[in-house]
């Protein structure tokens, strides 16, 4: 288990069954700017049935339910009779058998009703009809949007939906629009993903940090549940998994806002807090947002039943499929609906090491990539100014204090600054040092209890504490308003984590700034960092170049590692890890 996963994951058993999940790798067509002509023709736009269930399916479902009800009666009668007399035990057994059979019939009927009556793209009963006004837009307008937003869609089924370029083309009820009423238009990842998600497709969405991925998967989630007939709404229908507790809470808060008006109940469970309290909140839940360990605990003890969950999201998907979480994620996915499941993966970084593994959980996924980056190379948000300084370990403390003084002077006195360390003990030490020098600072890392973590984050978000010292538990997903600077005191274990860390600044179209202290100890990551800097048009310090440019790609246990040389810079002599 990696160092990070020791910090923020909870160990659980491995489900061998899950390992048998079939691998479906298929080649697909690509849409890029200039290849969208089919989208101009409304007759080429695929549509699906307008209702979630056909008449025959409803009839079959009703029949099965009746049989189940009959069997239920028989079972309860049998149970009470059995209690009264041992002679009737055989009858009771027969009745229980009938009940089990009827339940199976009902399950099968439900499964076929979600796959037979609809085209495959609506596998969980969803239907998407492209708005006629969107279909009527000139192709040139769509091409311009696709080119400007650097949008690439790879769809094995070539459905060629047009991006939802304006909220008015989004087919959701008025009440569900409240969360984005304040926004001008959908972000590119939202525009590109929504049609496919509303059509029930599996989607991998890769877009820079702070680009609105939460609403990209959140809006179709709520719409899916809101569009289910009341009789089919009982139980958990959607499950969203996040690597950290704080991110789970943040996603929960966003979804609650969307779900309230639609009568959709969202619940959040995560580790580090009392289970009893969380158990009480589960009743009537439609959407569960969770960290993997606690979710599996609840599934194992029977408090949570995911067998009806047909909308499954892995947020920060590469992290979730990384070694620390992979087994837990397999367990979760194998507990969700076996058929008619829509599986989504969202992230800002999509390393090759997890891509094949991701495909094993998905069925013909649509791959949406935003940015001049169709191959999914590692990319940082280009609005963030990245500064890297090579130094010795010994120089770090003074430099940090200098920077804090500089960034927090005059009218910038209360600017929010996020300071990242690699280890929990290091974070504690750095926080104490900063505090001793008179700065108003809080901390967030795995050595602190959950209450303290929550308090620190809340104070930082509210602005009452302008400096937060964190480990990588705060690297991914956290949407904290107006973080002006990110300072990396110790470089993270991977360059993906670096991209996520610095992504806490420069969110939702704003500018940001990240300063990184780089030492000889991290020279093995220099090549990958240089690539990230170059692809975001940032200057690369000469001292960093001296470490060489070889990039060691992170390998996955199941798929191995491979090496790539950027080729255009001088070769590294020898890399040794201290």
Ligand X SMILES: Nc1ncnc2c1ncn2[C@@H]1O[C@H](COP(=O)(O)OP(=O)(O)OP(=O)(O)O)[C@@H](O)[C@H]1O
Residues within the interface to ligand X (CB under 6 A): 180, 183, 186-187, 190, 209-215, 348, 477, 479, 503, 507-508
Residue 452: CB minimum distance to ligand X, A: 23
Min. distance of Cβ 258 from ligand X in angstroms? 12
Minimum CB separation of residue 366 from ligand X in Å reads: 18
CB of 75 or CB of 316, closer to ligand X: 316
Judged by beta carbon, residue 211 or residue 456, the one nearer ligand X is 211
Task: CB nearer to ligand X: give 211 or 291.
Answer: 211
CB of 346 to ligand X, least distance (A): 7
- Show the CA angle centred on residue 436, arms to residues 432 and 442, nearest 5°: 45
Minimum Å gap between C-beta 451 and ligand X is 24
CB count within 10 Å of CB 353 equals 22
Nearer to ligand X, 244 or 296 (CB): 244
Q: Following DSSP, what letter does each residue of 439-472 receive, concatenated?
A: --EEEESTTS-HHHHHHHHHHHHHTSS-EEEE-G
Q: Which is nearer to ligand X, 128 or 346 (CB)?
A: 346
Instruction: Select 114 or 209, whichever has its Cβ closest to ligand X.
Output: 209
Shortest CB 156 distance to ligand X, Å: 25
Q: What share of the chain is helix, strand, coil (3-state, %, to 5)?
A: 45, 15, 40
* Pick 39 or 213: Cβ nearer ligand X: 213
64, 66, 103 from 108: Cα distances, Å = 9, 14, 9
CB 347 to ligand X: min, Å: 7
Kindly state the smallest distance separating residue 461's Cβ from ligand X, in Å.
11
- Nearest approach in angstroms of CB 187 to ligand X is 5
136 CA to centre of own chain: 33
- Alpha helices by DSSP H, listed for 269-423, are 275-280, 292-301, 317-320, 323-335, 352-359, 396-407
CB of 205 to ligand X, least distance (A): 9
Under a CB-based contact definition with an 8 Å cutoff, are residues 473 and 8 in contact? yes
430 or 480, CB closer to ligand X? 480
Nearer to ligand X, 180 or 498 (CB): 180
Residue 159 DSSP label:
-
Distance CA 568, CA 566 (A): 6
Q: How many angstroms separate the Cα of 224 from the Cα of each of 197, 220, 312?
A: 9, 6, 12
Q: Which is nearer to ligand X, 170 or 390 (CB)?
A: 170
As measured in angstroms, the least distance from the Cβ of 192 to ligand X is 12
Comparing CB distances to ligand X, the nearer of 284 and 481 is 481
Which residue's CB is nearer to ligand X, number 209 or number 278? Answer: 209
DSSP 548: -
Q: How far apart are CA 365 and CA 79, in angstroms?
A: 47
Secondary structure (H, E, C), 77-135: HHHHHHHHCHHHHHHHHHHHHHHHHHHHHHHHHHHHHHHCCCCHHHCCCCCCCCCHHHH
Length of the chain: 578
Which residues lie below 8 Å from residue 5, measured CB to CB, with a gap of 6+? 322, 323, 324, 325
191's enclosing H/E stretch is: helix 188-198
What DSSP string describes 23-88? Answer: P-----EEE-TT--GGGG-GGGS----SSSS-HHHHHHHHHHHHHHHHHHHHHHHHHHHHHH-GGG
Q: Among candidates 457, 528, 456, 515, which has minimal Cα distance to 487?
A: 515
473: CB partners within 8 A, 6+ apart:
7, 8, 244, 245, 246, 444, 445, 446, 453
Taking the complex as a whole, the smallest distance from the CB of residue 565 to ligand X amounts, in Å, to: 28
Distance CA 419, CA 424 (A): 13
Closest CA relative to residue 188, chosen from 168, 210, 171: 210
């Amino acid at each position: 288990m990696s160092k990070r996963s020791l910090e923020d994951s909870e160990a659980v058993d491995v489900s061998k069954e899950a390992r048998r999940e079939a691998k479906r790798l298929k080649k697909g067509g690509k849409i890029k700017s200039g290849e969208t002509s089919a989208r101009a023709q409304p007759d080429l736009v695929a549509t699906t049935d307008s209702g979630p269930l056909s008449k025959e399916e409803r009839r079959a479902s009703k029949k099965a339910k009746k049989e189940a009800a009959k069997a239920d009666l028989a079972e309860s009668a049998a149970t009470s009779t059995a209690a009264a007399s041992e002679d009737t035990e055989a009858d009771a057994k027969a009745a229980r058998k009938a009940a089990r059979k009827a339940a199976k019939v009902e399950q099968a009927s439900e499964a076929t009703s979600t796959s037979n009556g609809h085209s495959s793209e609506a596998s969980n009963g969803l239907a998407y009809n492209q708005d006629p006004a969107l279909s009527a837009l000139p192709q040139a307008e769509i091409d311009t949007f696709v080119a400007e937003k650097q949008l690439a869609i790879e769809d094995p089924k070539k459905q060629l939906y047009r991006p939802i370029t304006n909220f008015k083309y989004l087919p959701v009820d008025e009440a569900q629009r409240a969360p984005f009423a304040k926004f001008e238009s959908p972000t590119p990842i939202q525009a590109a993903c929504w049609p496919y998600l509303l059509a029930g497709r599996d989607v991998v969405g890769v877009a820079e940090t702070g680009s609105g991925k939460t609403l990209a998967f959140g809006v179709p989630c709520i719409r899916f549940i809101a569009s289910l007939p009341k009789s089919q709404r009982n139980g958990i229908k959607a499950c969203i998994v996040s690597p950290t507790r704080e991110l789970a809470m943040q996603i929960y808060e966003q979804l609650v806002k969307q779900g309230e008006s639609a009568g959709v109940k969202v619940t959040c469970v995560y580790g580090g807090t009392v289970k009893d309290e969380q158990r009480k909140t589960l009743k009537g839940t439609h959407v569960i947002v969770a960290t993997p360990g606690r979710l599996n605990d609840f599934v194992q003890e029977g408090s949570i039943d995911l067998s009806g969950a047909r909308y499954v999201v892995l947020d920060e998907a590469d992290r979730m499929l990384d070694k620390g979480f992979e087994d837990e994620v397999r367990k979760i996915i194998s507990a969700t609906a076996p058929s008619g499941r829509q599986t989504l993966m969202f992230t800002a970084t999509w390393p090759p090491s997890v891509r094949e593994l991701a495909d094993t959980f998905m069925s013909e996924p649509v791959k949406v990539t935003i940015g001049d980056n169709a191959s999914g190379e590692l990319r940082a948000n280009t609005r963030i100014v990245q500064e890297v300084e090579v130094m010795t370990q010994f120089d770090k403390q003074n430099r940090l204090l200098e920077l804090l003084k500089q960034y927090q002077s005059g009218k910038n006195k209360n600017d929010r600054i996020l300071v990242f360390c690699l280890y929990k003990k290091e974070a504690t030490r750095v926080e104490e040092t900063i505090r001793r020098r008179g700065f108003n600072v809080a901390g967030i890392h795995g050595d602190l209890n959950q209450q303290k973590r929550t308090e620190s984050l809340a104070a930082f978000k509210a602005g009452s504490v302008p400096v937060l010292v964190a480990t990588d538990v705060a690297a991914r997903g956290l949407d904290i308003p107006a973080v002006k600077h990110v300072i990396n005191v110790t470089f993270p274990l991977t360059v993906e984590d670096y991209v996520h860390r610095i992504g806490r600044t420069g969110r939702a179209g704003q500018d940001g700034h990240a300063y990184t202290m780089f030492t000889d100890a991290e020279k093995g990551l220099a090549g990958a960092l240089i690539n990230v800097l170059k692809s975001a048009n940032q200057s690369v310090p000469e001292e960093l170049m001296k470490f060489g440019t070889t990039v060691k790609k992170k390998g996955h246990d199941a798929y191995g590692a491979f090496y790539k040389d950027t080729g255009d810079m001088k070769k590294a002599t020898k890399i040794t890890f201290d």
